[in-house]
Amino acid sequence: MRWIWLDGFTAFESGVKARSIKNLSLAEDHFAQHFPGYPLMPAALIIEGLAQTGGILVGEKLDFKEKVVLGKVLKARFDRDFLAGETLEYEAEIIMVRPEGSTVIGRVFCEGKLEAEVEIFFAHLGPSWSKSEAAGGAGDDNFVFSSELRSFINQARRLDAQAKKAKAAAN
């Protein structure tokens, strides 16, 4: 089963902030049961999308040498329900990164309006001695930054490079 709860990054500022997008499609299986006639996106899956956005942000800051795992949801506030057909924008901002763990604040925007805010604590499981990590981080034998996420990681790095280039040109 694929466990990816975002569709792609839209902005990435290394070590600071990232934005991603999630289209809520009625084709997603969970909407059939959650709930019949009222396709409500489960808050837990929104938190997972924010954690994936923030986890890649933190992981990239640490060169993917640590496994960044959602440890605890410190705070969560949802102002409304999110239904199939809507497009959510996730934003993750780093509050603190330490060798043992990190904290990010995740925000959900819909049509430009802030609709939910979640504070997430990640535990760092330490460097693994897997081949893919030795070769530079993500890969099939890294259960957090798996090859499934590789396209996102490449996309994030591309966006970061573009933003840096634009900033340099503006200066």
Partner 1 sequence: MASQDEIFQKVSATLVEALNVDEDEIRPTSTLTGDLGAESIDFLDIVFRLEREFGIKIPREELFPEVAEGNNPEFMQDGVVTPKGIEELKRAMPFADFNDFEKDPRMTEFSNLFTVKMITNYIQDKLARGGR
Residues in contact with partner 1 by CB under 8 A are 71-72, 74, 96, 98-101, 103, 121, 123
Q: Return d(Cα 122, Cα 58) in angstroms, integer.
A: 9
Residue with structure tokens 């780093």?
Answer: 94
Contact 118, 75 (CB under 8 A): yes
Min dist. Cβ of residue 117 to partner 1 (A): 16
Out of 7, 14, 21, 34, pick the active-site residue: 34
What tokens were used for 136? Answer: 């530079």
Radius of gyration of the chain (CA): 16
* SS3 call for 98: coil
Q: How far apart are CA 86 and CA 110, in angstroms?
A: 8
- Cβ nearer to partner 1, comparing 18 with 97: 97
Least Cβ distance, residue 103 to partner 1 (angstroms): 7
CA angle 107, 110, 116 (to 5 degrees): 35
Q: Token pair for residue 82?
A: 């999110």
Q: Which is nearer to partner 1, 16 or 96 (CB)?
A: 96
Is 34 in the active site?
A: yes
Q: How far is the CB of 6 from partner 1 (least distance, A)?
A: 24
Q: Which is nearer to partner 1, 74 or 161 (CB)?
A: 74
CB nearer partner 1, residue 16 or residue 95: 95
Catalytic residues, by residue number, are 34
